[in-house]
Structure 1
């Protein structure tokens, strides 16, 4: 499943570039339960022949409030790194990988040290030592370091009551490319 940020005016080009097959799963969401964009766009996509179109009707704020994480695309990562000075990047790679190729200003929380449960392991240590923003749990956290480990740590962070967590499924090289304007 992929994510594409598009509007009803730009979807033909945006979605067709991302999804060559019309049987690719597409999940649409809006800013809340009263937003009608995703409903209209879903109808347009179905009419255009897409067969696996779903809507998350309650919107992204409710998704996050219920502990859901989002996957961020390169364009979104670029925008956050350029414009959100409060965002915290979390690098889940193991120490040897990080030492060989550091990501600027990323906070290290290696996947292998993240344990199941609340207030345990490396996440507890990161909360205690200042690597994670304890004053504001709505601070945007972006987790990098590979799709599977990044998602795992992102989900663990939401269980610690951080409400605005995204993970980047791309490679470190793709994340580095997002640093460039």
Structure 2
């Protein structure tokens, strides 16, 4: 994730200085790349946040499944089958209704996966396909909540010795037992935390949040979204399930 801020600046620059897209009052959350050679419309981070919050479209993560489980936009769907079956998988996902709104994303402005998938869907007769071309790097950089699956948490827990695990439960619950080497940080304290348990030597450090349930973990993620640590993911499950899997 070391290139996150670079990608964010590229995305904004492309928006601000691309002909008709030039506008002094555009914000980074409203930025798009401004591509002119694509048949599908781009949406901004602001648009994507609205879709995540309010619905209105089926979100497709076009990255490999292994990347999806390590962190994805909340509510996104992954395509598990081979590329040759991707269109059929999407059709099944929307119940055969090719007019349903779809939003695709992948690994940022230079990632081709969502562009290719969008073109394939258009050729197959889908009529409402858009892309969040800024993708996961910019989503993370702008504080977008990122969900991580159990397989992803276990992979990080077992292989990434630099990762920080934060338990969003109460101090009382934390005191009764937590994951090995986890730290306690409740959402109400996230805005003012200085130093430990937050890493200060590398703000790209991977941070995994968990709580008694997905809602509690996400509340901590939202509280941290205005802080400078952007490589943050929350576990969308219960502490009991995570604790049992780690043992």
Is TM (by shorter chain) over 0.5? yes
> Tell me, what secondary structure is at the counterpart of 1:124?
coil
Whether 2:200 is the aligned partner of 1:124: answer: no
Give the unaligned 5+ runs of structure 2.
1-74
Residue 154 of structure 1 corresponds to 221
Whether 2:244 is the aligned partner of 1:168: answer: no
Q: Distance in 2 between matches of 1:94 and 1:10?
A: 47
Q: What whole-Å deviation, never above 9, does each CA across 1:67-110 have from its counterpart, x for those lacking one?
A: 21210111211211121111101110112322334222111012
* Distance verdict in 2 for CA 1:50–1:148, change over 3 Å: farther
Root-mean-square deviation (CA, aligned residues, Å) is 3.4
Normalised TM-score (structure 1): 0.73
| Structure with more contact order per residue of length (Cα contacts < 8 Å, sep ≥ 6) | 1
Size of the alignment, in residue pairs? 168
Residue 9 of structure 1 corresponds to 83
Q: What whole-Å deviation, never above 9, does each CA across 1:38-87 have from its counterpart, x for those lacking one?
A: 23234556778989865321121111122212101112112111211111
Q: Distance in 2 between matches of 1:74 and 1:10?
A: 27
Moved more, 27-36 or 86-95: 27-36
Q: Distance in 2 between matches of 1:11 and 1:139?
A: 36
Whether 2:229 is the aligned partner of 1:179: answer: no
Residue 184 of structure 2 corresponds to 108
Q: Distance in 2 between matches of 1:109 and 1:69?
A: 17
Computing the radius of gyration from Cα coordinates, the structure with the larger value is 2
Normalised TM-score (structure 2): 0.56
Tell whether the 8 Å contact from 1:3 to 1:27 is kept in structure 2 after alignment: no
Tell whether the 8 Å contact from 1:3 to 1:26 is kept in structure 2 after alignment: no
